[in-house]
Structure 1
Amino acid sequence: MKSAVRKIAIERMQILIEKAILNAKINPDLSQRQAFLARRISTRHKIRMPYALRMVFCKKCKSFIAPGLNSRIRIGRTSVKSIRISCNLCGHTYRKVIPPSATIKKNSI
């Protein structure tokens, strides 16, 4: 019983986040509400949100950030490859480091 509820909750969270990303440009209020419902499902059923779904929430203000609409994404050019994501709502900037194995080597062609 519990695994069935967990599976349905995860599927529903994925659907809500996908719809929120699609609606972010057309109707930002609706997309914020859909993302809020996805977070609420995860807290109500005590399910950890998958990494891909957690990435669309600001780490500081916990609001939904649509990539490119209410956030700024920059790629670092230093020796450590990283992605800097800035929330336009609260101004918080956080960094995701890209592991060296994930980067494409120039001489591999």
Structure 2
Amino acid sequence: MKSEQKKIADERIRILFREAEKALKENKKMRSRRYVQMARKVSTKYQIPLRHLKRKFCKKCSIFFIPGKTLRVRTRKKDCRVIYTCMECGTIQRYRYVKEKKKI
């Protein structure tokens, strides 16, 4: 019973993120934001982690990220970071990355 509920909730989260992306492409920011908020509520209620979806929205204003439209992406080579800047609220998120080792 529980696993079935989690499967349905996981599917619902994916659908909501798809709809959020579609709404933002149609310039409906508030609708997109609402879809992301609903997806986050579902994930909290059913304790489903948003592993691969975590970096697709702003944690502060809940806007879906589309690079160039709602997101600025910068890389810093000296400390191996990718910097996401939300263009709606200005929140900055930093993520580390690992450099590829050269094969000899």
Fold shared per TM-score above 0.5: yes
The list of structure 1 runs, each at least 4 consecutive aligned residues, that deviate by more than 6 angstroms after superposition, is none
Which moves more between the two structures, 2-11 or 80-89? 80-89
Letter in 1 for 2:11: E
Matched residue, 1:37: 38
Provide structure 2 residue ranges, at least 5 long, that are not aligned to the other structure. Answer: none
Q: Where does 1:19-58 land on structure 2 (aligned, <5 Å)?
A: 19-26=19-26, 27-45=28-46, 47-58=47-58
Describe the shift of the 1:2–1:96 C-alpha distance in structure 2 as closer, same or farther (beyond 3 A).
same
Per the TM alignment, residue 19 of structure 1 is displaced from its structure 2 partner at its CA by 2.2
* Counterpart secondary structure, 1:52: coil
> Sequence identity of aligned pairs in percent?
30
Matched residue, 1:4: 4
Per the TM alignment, residue 29 of structure 1 is displaced from its structure 2 partner at its CA by 2.3
Aligned residues: 102
Q: Where does 1:1-109 land on structure 2 (aligned, <5 Å)?
A: 1-26=1-26, 27-45=28-46, 47-59=47-59, 61-68=60-67, 69-78=69-78, 80-98=79-97, 100=98, 103-105=99-101, 107-108=102-103
Note if contact 2:36-2:64 (Cα within 8 Å) is conserved in structure 1.
no
Which whole-Å CA distance do the structure 2 matches of 1:62 and 1:3 have between them?
31
Provide structure 1 residue ranges, at least 5 long, that are not aligned to the other structure. Answer: none
Note if contact 1:56-1:66 (Cα within 8 Å) is conserved in structure 2.
yes
TM-score by length of 2: 0.80
Letter in 1 for 2:88: L
